[in-house]
Structure 1
């Protein structure tokens, strides 16, 4: 066979990773604003003696880092999308960065809880008025960020983009901002109670609550990203659906199947099939529905020994 004809049988491994996603610029703006507010809240928490404000700043920082990683990952993915050194593309950049940041944030959260417990034992004076002003500004920033995300146009470029587009990240960003708004409200509540009711113990309690929220979120992200980085098998619902789509003919049986994530919402698959009347690999690939987001499939076919 002439080598020029082989190009018809090759395919790229970019998998739309080189495409700029809608909302990316707005997300970057939110990252910058949130990061600035994080620095202000953490500094104010340290200066004014409020653990609730410190916890709110840390919580905001955790989400700013998550959104920043998503933006950076998209930028790097576009730069390296066609790089042949990456066997299945660059979709795991986001997971790698997410795993590293989650480990770092888990350490911060533990320090936050330890410091809050110490404040219970050894309380210090809190400058309630100044801390409340900063907490209110933080709440306004969260509200503005939520509005920006809600008004972001969605990506409808691809029929199944909800599986591997930017929409999922936008929804996640929106949830992060809402969580930040809740911790801002908790901080405000603790500071108001301390100022008017003398319940100063609520401030370090909110520090513990904030640290626990960040720790829980970090642990969840560590588990989720580790599964992607370790090529964990996709859920039984997806592998079962792929198997069912191929076993439409009574002569075809899937004897081995591996489906794993190679990026945000996109998968690779290796499937071994035994058949009385084997078809071509292209035929079996055509049976897998496109909305399963399996962008790279390797098919191994065996004729049944009994025939």
Structure 2
């Protein structure tokens, strides 16, 4: 079941991120730490993405309308895509600045860096806990949650780096940690981008179509299945349509067949929205995905 995140939780996470941002900007300026300054701007982006995610969730709850017959569920998919893209952009910025810092090393105040990093870690952990459950059932919340999680891991890295800087005065550890965090962020964001683009491009979900065809044909009076289309509105709802060839029956006898197919697809394949068109002889020789339009184009 999809877990919804309340407005109160979003508000607390946003406030915590704004506080972290302010503290890390001040700490980064005073300590000279690129990792802290980069994480500060990352947290600022998190605050914006959290608000975007919350409003997307509200929009996604709106009912279907004449202009939006499938509702607004893809608002959350768009939000997840934007959040993940922002993560990639931030990572690129971090990588560039870290590489520059290697060629222009600067002295870093380890104790200040350490104190600020600990504060940031505690606030990020609280935010991550607030969003954890919702991240399991929504790409939108997952993208926001990954923002927070990446910041938490970044804070851990900064803490380790601050200890090294304080004890051994190895200042180049700061840009090295920045590069490591940037790579981690890209690694976590890429699957979200891939999945959201797949949904927006209406690519077919991973289903056993041969098994679906066989199960439908095994229903009494169904002779064949063709003109199949399947896509996803969001990461939870699959839309399925198909033409079936049946015996020459009155509509009153075809309707129970529709019900059997809908029940089969919902119970066995978790397909929530099914549209079936019954035919007697039309298209009976077509393959599962080969439509009449496809045949005309081939000719």
Deviation at 1:172, TM superposition (A): 6.7
Given that residues 53 and 140 in structure 2 are in contact (C-alpha distance below 8 angstroms), is that contact kept between their aligned partners in structure 1? yes
Deviation at 1:270, TM superposition (A): 1.4
**Any residues of structure 2 matched to 1:1-307 within 5 Å, and which?**
21=4, 23-61=6-44, 63-78=46-61, 80-149=62-131, 177-237=148-208, 239=209, 242-243=212-213, 245-249=215-219, 251-276=222-247, 279-280=254-255, 281-290=258-267, 292-304=269-281
Given that residues 69 and 94 in structure 1 are in contact (C-alpha distance below 8 angstroms), is that contact kept between their aligned partners in structure 2? no
**Structure 1 unaligned regions, length at least 5:** 1-15, 155-161
Deviation at 1:240, TM superposition (A): 5.5
**Cα distance in 1 between the residues matched to 2:15 and 2:65:** 29
Moved more, 101-110 or 129-138: 101-110
Provide, for residues 79-124 of structure 1, a one-character-per-residue CA deviation record: whole Å limited to 9, x for no partner. Answer: x424321131111111122223333332222121111000011012
**Cα distance in 2 between the residues matched to 1:63 and 1:293:** 34
Moved more, 259-268 or 96-105: 96-105
**Cα distance in 1 between the residues matched to 2:159 and 2:213:** 53
Deviation at 1:262, TM superposition (A): 0.7
**Structure 2 unaligned regions, length at least 5:** 285-299
Query: SS state of the match for residue 274, structure 2?
Result: strand
Given that residues 227 and 243 in structure 2 are in contact (C-alpha distance below 8 angstroms), is that contact kept between their aligned partners in structure 1? yes
Give the alignment's TM-score, normalised by structure 2: 0.76
RMSD: 3.3
**Cα distance in 1 between the residues matched to 2:151 and 2:214:** 43
Matched residues, number? 275
Structure 1 residues 243 and 73, CA gap change in structure 2 (3 angstroms) = farther
**Cα distance in 2 between the residues matched to 1:246 and 1:70:** 39
Mark the structure with the bigger radius of gyration: 2
**Cα distance in 2 between the residues matched to 1:36 and 1:244:** 58
